[in-house]
Structure formats: structure tokens, C-alpha cells
Amino acid sequence: MNLGVQIVSFSVMLTIAFVYFTNKHIKLLSTRIYTLYLSVSLVYSFTEIFTIYTLYNIDTISPFVNRLAHQLFICTLVLILMFLFIYVDMLTRKQKRYKPIELIVSILPAVFAFVMTAFGDLEYHVGDDGMYSYGPVVTVLYCCLCVYALWTVITIIRRRRTIPGHIMIIVLCGVSGWVAIGIVQMLNPTWLIESMGVSLMQLFIFLSIENPREYNDADVIGALNRHAFEMMLNERCENGKEFYVVTFTLTNSELLKNSVGVNEVYNILGWSALKLSGVLRSDFYHTADNSISFIVKHKACCEKLIRSDFDKVEFSTSAGVKVNTSFKLTFIECPKYADSVEKITELMTHILHTKSKSERSILVVSEAIIDEINYLAGVEKLLQYAVKNNGLEVYYQPIYSTAKKKFVSAEALVRLKDKETLGFISPEIFIPMAERMGLISELGNTVFENVCRFARQNDIKQYGVEYIEVNISAVQSVDISLPDRLLDCMSRYGISSDFFNLEITETAAVEAGELLDLNMSRLKSMGCGFSMDDFGTGYSNLSQMANTGFDIIKLDKSLIWPCFEDNGDKPKTILNSCIAMINGLGISIVAEGVETKEQVDLLTEKGVEYLQGYYFSKPMNEHDYLNFVQNNC
């Protein structure tokens, strides 16, 4: 009994099945069909060996068992080709679900072959030259195989644009090789090499399309990767039925990485995902470094999760050490709020970048959030246009000296010229956006150039303006080319560097590190001054603050306003201590957000050197500011 080819084919199939079934795979419809295709191939390989055994022992084995073994063998071969055709069809068609008529047409040749196999004549040849089966059933089998092979080839060629080129080539090569083996087998019936074609085709498809390792995530155990997520989403969107995308995001992941390490953060993500998948009854996907997402069919599962006390869950490392985690859980109803992969991922990105109000929050996407996203998308477009097409303007807000009792300076504040399209847009919205979009250097250059031009054209020093405050964003502050660009601009307009005080926010100053120190010391050595902006909103490292050489500290309004509310005693104590400490370090103070006479009096009495706020003036355009300084010099 020569079983060489069959044993090799069976081993190949068994190995593929082992790898396939021991790994997690995505639940695409095509993958489900592939699972059937692989299972039937495995049964086929085994039954082929069994038919050889029954033919070899044809004298002793019952004719019924022999015929049954051959019938099973033929039926599985027909099924394999039928599943291969449906699989390829599934891979390439848009609407995955079959209509009843499509299903009937697809299985018709197979049904015909089954009926023939059940009732048709089957002969056996056993001789010195070898053994094989023949007769009308085998002829029908070959016809049926030809129909499916041809159908598969036509389908993949017709829909070639819907799949990557290499997949089409692999399927075409596999089917052609298989047909070639079939023809050789037909001409030499004793060779019994058909199983080689089956296992080769399996190998081709497994390695190029269905290898589950391609979809398994490398970092979070048990998770599928982003590619798998997008493929699954695509199928759900094309299906058109309601589903939900639920995303768990560890919002303090960067902090956790520094404290417990990257692997522990992935462990925490994996652990949370397992817990959530118990409620959501779905696979989970590692969709962003700090996020895990689920594609959920049933609204009830989402509601159950929202009602549960997941926000009170305690997290710990694999060593059992408790860790403080901040996270947000978001729910997007699809296709209501997003009906394509692009729209869903855009929405997810937006939510990922939106700061949450509390440490652990649940966000159910609503019409209002969609409006906000559309608004922000509009702002992005406007900003991009403004930066490239002279659409920015600089406003000036005067700064009052309490000692000299006059306006000695001003802060330059950028504005988008176009106020008609979307109304006034706060720089607090578009500055972080410009940072994300990589436009901040260009924006910063335009602002600085505008200030230099304005100061030069109007010689504003003559009106007692000693210096101008210019904001430098966190991203700009660590840009190594910043000093050269600023110095170049100043020299082009012939303005000395001591006319500028560059504002860097407290948060940026604390987080920036060495590059900021380098930029600051270069600019300071040329004469530029520095202000720490928004003091009181971040976490100052006090000794660092004393040593980094800020000339001015700008007290944020959040430090000042509470002193004038009821129960303002504690805020007053904090403010007094801050003022005393900063004055003690020999650093000047600008109080921001001064709106009332009461505030002016108290801050002046406490020894604050400079005041800035609506009490004196709102930020003004060049023309109004020029009038203002001319009238107040």
C-alpha cells in the first residue's frame, strides 16, 4: 500500500489545522467559511487514506463500507471546491451575506454531485498497476470540480480590484496547479495525487490570507490587532445592521509606563479587556497604544456595562501591586453616528485626543459630540488655510505697571482673521490643533514676524512700550531651530532682542527638559527675556522655577479670581504666599485676568508689579492698540 503522497498531504493539513485552531482568529464571514473549508479538507485527507485501505483490502472488507468510504471521499472533495469557491466569492464581494437564490445557485453543482454519488454507479479497479475508482460518479465529480474551479477563477478575475494583487495571484496559481494535478490524475488514474492539490491550495491560502498570527496582537495577550479590527468593522459596516464600537482607553498610560513599565501597562490593558469581554461578549482588538476596542452586536451588552460598576474596579500589576488608573470608556452607535471604517476611526481618534472631565469617565457618543467633531474639522480646515494664506492676525493686550502707573508692555495674541465662517475661535482651541497638525512653527513665525513688522513700522517704543510678550508654544519651545529663526527675524526688522519677552507656559516649562534650557540660555544670552505663563495651572517644580531664569512669572487668573469670591480666605493665603515667594526670588510678577477695581487695588497693595486684564483693555487689533498707546503714553 503506497500512501506517501496521502501521508504528506494529511500531515500538512494537520499542521495547518493545529496552528489555525490553537490561535485566535477574526470572525469574518470569509474566515468562517475558511474554517469549514479547512475542516472538510482534513476529513477528505483522512477518508482518502481510508479508501486506499478499503481498496487494498477489497476482498475482505464489506462492499458497503468500501462504497461508503468512496462516497464520503467524493463528497468531501466536492465540498472542498464548493467552499473554496464560496470563500473566494466572500473575500471579493461587497455585500457578504448571500441572498437565498445566490446560495441555491452556489451549491447546485455540489447537490447534483451528491445525488449522483448517492445513487450512481461506482466501479473499482484493483490491479498490479495500482487501484482507483471510476464510473459515472467519478465523471460527474470531475465535471463538478471543473465548474467550481472555473467559477472561482472567473470570480477572482472579475473582482480583482476588491483585493490585493498578491491574493489574486496566489488563488489563481493555486487553482491552476490544482487543475493541472487533476488532469494528470485523470490521465493516470492510478497515481492518486489529487490530495497534493488540496493540501497545496490549503497551504497557499493559509500562508497568504488566513494565518491567524497576522491578526494576533504582538503586545496585548489575547487581543487581535488593528488590521483585524478594521477588517471586521468593514464587514459590519457593509452589513448595514446596528452595532456598537466600545473603546477602553487608559488615559494615564504614559505615567503608568514610567512607573510600572510598558509590559505591565499591556497586562493591565489585557486584564481589563478580558473583564470587559465577559460583559460585551465579543473579541477585543488593540486599536491604539493605550486602547482596546470591541465590536458589539447587542445594545443590551453595552447597557449592562454602563450599569455595572466597572468604574470602581481596582487594577494591579502582575505582582499584585495596586495601581492608580485613569480611563475612559466610549460607546459609538453604528451606523447611526459613523457608517464607514474611515468615519469610525476618525471618531475614535477624536475621542482619544479629547481630555475627559474626570479620571474615570463613560462617554456615549451623541449628536452633540458629532457636531463638535464637525466644528473642529471645520476649524482644522480654516486653520490650515489661514496659516498658508495670510489668514492670521495679531492682537495686543496692554500690560500696566503698578509702579510706573502706565502701560509699559503688551501681550501679542494670535487671532484667525476669518470670523464669518465659524465665528470667533479661541486660540486655546486652534493652538493645540496647530501643534498636532505640525503647523505651529509656521504659525509662531507669522506671529513673531507680525510683531516685528508692527513694532518697526510704528516705532512703538516712542510711546513708552518697553517690551512685547510673545507666546511660545510647548512644541516650539523645544524646537532647536527656534533661536536662529527668532534672531533672524529680529535682525531683518532691526529690533533688539531685549524688546521681547517670550512666554512659556508653566506646564511646558516643567515638561520640556534640556532642549528648552538650551534654547532659553541661547536666547537669553542674546538679550531676550522670558516669562512663565499661566503660573498656578500646572505643577511647578519650585527649585527648578528658581533656577531656570524666568524674568517674569504670570499668575494665572485661576489663582486670582477665587480670592474675590465668598470664602476667599484660603485662596488669598495661597496668593499672598506665591507673591511673597516670587518677589523673594527677585522675579517680577504679571497678574492675568484682572477685571475689577477691587482686584487692581488688592494686587497693587500686595506688591504685584504688572497687571493685565479686561479692566484695562481687551486684546485689540493693531490699529486700536496704536491709538491706545498714543492716548496713554
Point out which residues bind ligand C2E (CB under 6 A). 397, 413-414, 426-428, 431, 447, 471-473, 503, 533-534, 592-595, 612-614, 619
If contact means CB under 5 to 8 A according to the sort of partner, which of Mg ion, ligand C2E, none does residue 629 touch? none
Nearer to ligand C2E, 149 or 439 (CB): 439
Quote the least distance from Cβ 396 to Mg ion, whole Å.
Answer: 12
Closest CB to ligand C2E among 199 and 441? 441
- Segment interacting with Mg ion, rule: CB under 5 A, options 68-76, 82-90, 387-395, 531-539: 531-539
317 binds, among ligand C2E, Mg ion, none (CB under 5 to 8 A by kind): none
Distances (CA, A) of 422 to 354, 380, 426: 20, 11, 11
User: Residue 413 Cβ, how far from ligand C2E at the closest point, in Å?
Assistant: 4
**Minimum distance between the CB of residue 500 and ligand C2E, rounded to whole angstroms?**
13
Q: Which of 235, 503, 609, 622 binds Mg ion (CB under 5 A)?
A: 503
Cα–chain center distance at 54: 57
Give which of ligand C2E, Mg ion, none residue 109 binds (C-beta under 5 to 8 Å, depending on kind).
Answer: none
Which residue, 178 or 535, is less far from ligand C2E as judged by CB?
A: 535
Which residue's entry shows cell 445557485?
Answer: 105
Question: According to CB under 5 A, which residues from 573 to 602 bind Mg ion?
Answer: 592
Q: Which cell numbers hold the place of 276?
A: 470587559
Q: In sequence order, which residues have a C-beta less than 8 Å from that of residue 447 and are 6 or more positions away? A: 392, 394, 412, 414, 470, 471
In whole angstroms, give the CA distance from residue 300 to residue 178.
48
Q: Please state, in angstroms and rounded to a whole number, the distance separating the CA atoms of residues 73 and 8.
A: 17
For residue 422, which phi and psi values (nearest 5 degrees)? -125, 10
Helix spans in 459-541 (H): 474-477, 482-493, 506-512, 514-526
Out of ligand C2E, Mg ion, none, what residue 174 binds, judged by CB under 5 to 8 A for its kind, is none
Q: Is 217 in the site for Mg ion (CB under 5 A)?
A: no
Closest to Mg ion by CB, 264 vs 534, is 534
Q: Among ligand C2E, Mg ion, none, what binds residue 397 when CB lies within 5 to 8 Å by partner kind?
A: ligand C2E
Question: How near is the Cβ of 551 to Mg ion at its closest, in Å?
Answer: 14
Q: How far is the CB of 509 from Mg ion (least distance, A)?
A: 12
DSSP-derived secondary structure letter, 356: P
Q: Considering the complex, what minimum distance in angstroms separates the CB of residue 554 from Mg ion?
A: 5
Could you tell me whether strands 243-250 and 610-611 are parallel, antiparallel, or unpaired per DSSP bridges?
Answer: unpaired
Q: What is the CA radius of gyration of the chain?
A: 36
Q: Could you say which of ligand C2E, Mg ion, none residue 531 binds, taking C-beta under 5 to 8 angstroms by partner kind?
A: none
Residue nearest to ligand C2E (CB): 613
174 or 536: CB nearest ligand C2E: 536
CA distances from 102 to 82, 241, 267, 485 (A): 13, 20, 46, 67
264 binds Mg ion (CB under 5 A): no
- Shortest distance in whole angstroms from residue 20 CB to ligand C2E: 54
Using the rule CB under 5 A, give the single segment among 39-47, 198-206, 421-429, 496-504 that binds Mg ion.
496-504
User: Which of ligand C2E, Mg ion, none interacts with 194 (beta carbon under 5 to 8 A by kind)?
Assistant: none
Q: Is the CB of residue 156 less than 8 Å from the CB of residue 88?
A: yes
494/490 Cα distance (integer angstroms): 6
Closest CA to 532 of 480, 587, 456: 587
Residue (251 or 441) nearer to ligand C2E, CB: 441
In the complex with ligand C2E, the residue whose CB is nearer, 301 or 414, is 414
CB of 470 to Mg ion, least distance (A): 9
- Residue 539 beta carbon to ligand C2E: minimum distance, rounded to whole angstroms: 17
Nearer to ligand C2E, 38 or 594 (CB): 594
Q: Could you say whether residue 533 binds Mg ion (CB under 5 A)?
A: yes
Q: Which is nearer to ligand C2E, 225 or 477 (CB)?
A: 477
Q: Which does 413 bind (CB under 5 to 8 A by kind): ligand C2E, Mg ion, none?
A: ligand C2E
Determine the distance from the C-alpha atom of residue 17 to the mean position of all C-alpha atoms in its chain, rounded to a whole number: 32
Q: Which CB sits closer to Mg ion, 208 or 558?
A: 558
Contact between 477 and Mg ion per CB under 5 A: no
Establish if 471 lies at the interface with Mg ion (CB under 5 A): yes
Which of these ranges, 90-98, 501-509, 559-567, 615-623, lies near Mg ion under the rule CB under 5 A? Answer: 501-509
Smallest separation (angstroms) from Mg ion to the CB of 451: 13
The nearest distance, CB 614 to ligand C2E, in angstroms, is: 4
Instruction: Select from Mg ion, ligand C2E, none the partner in contact with residue 613, using the beta carbon and a kind-dependent cut-off of 5 to 8 Å.
Output: ligand C2E
Cβ–Cβ under 8 Å, residues 453 and 491: no
Which of 334-339's residues contact partners 24+ apart within 8 Å by CB, and which partners?
334/236, 334/237, 334/242, 334/243, 334/244, 334/245, 335/237, 335/240, 335/242, 336/242, 337/365, 337/370, 338/245, 339/237
* CB of 471 vs ligand C2E, minimal distance in Å: 4
Using alpha carbons, list the distances in angstroms from residue 379 to 29, 356, 432, 510. Answer: 40, 21, 12, 29
Secondary structure class of 102 (helix, strand, coil): helix
Q: Which is nearer to ligand C2E, 195 or 397 (CB)?
A: 397
Q: How far apart are CA 429 and CA 432, in angstroms?
A: 6
Quick one: which of 194, 217, 235, 534 contacts Mg ion (CB under 5 A)?
Answer: 534
DSSP 620: B
State which residue, 333 or 595, has the beta carbon closest to ligand C2E. 595
Output the smallest distance, CB 411 to Mg ion, in A.
6
Nearer to Mg ion among residue 210 and residue 534 (C-beta): 534
Residue pointed to by grid coordinates 544670552: 525
**What is the number of other CB atoms lying within 10 angstroms of the CB of residue 630?**
12
φ, ψ at 594 (rounded to 5°): -80, 120
CA 429, CA 620: separation in Å to the nearest integer?
Answer: 19
Smallest separation, CB 619 to ligand C2E (Å):
5
Q: Which is nearer to ligand C2E, 137 or 439 (CB)?
A: 439
Q: What is the spatial distance between Cα 382 and Cα 360, in angstroms, rounded to a whole number?
A: 33
Cβ neighbors of 449 (< 8 A, separation 6 or more) are 489
One DSSP character per residue, 210-254 reads I-GGGTB-SSSTT-B-HHHHHHHHHHHHHH---EEEEEEEETTHH
529 binds, among Mg ion, ligand C2E, none (CB under 5 to 8 A by kind): none
| Residues forming the site for Mg ion (CB under 5 A) | 471, 503, 533-534, 592
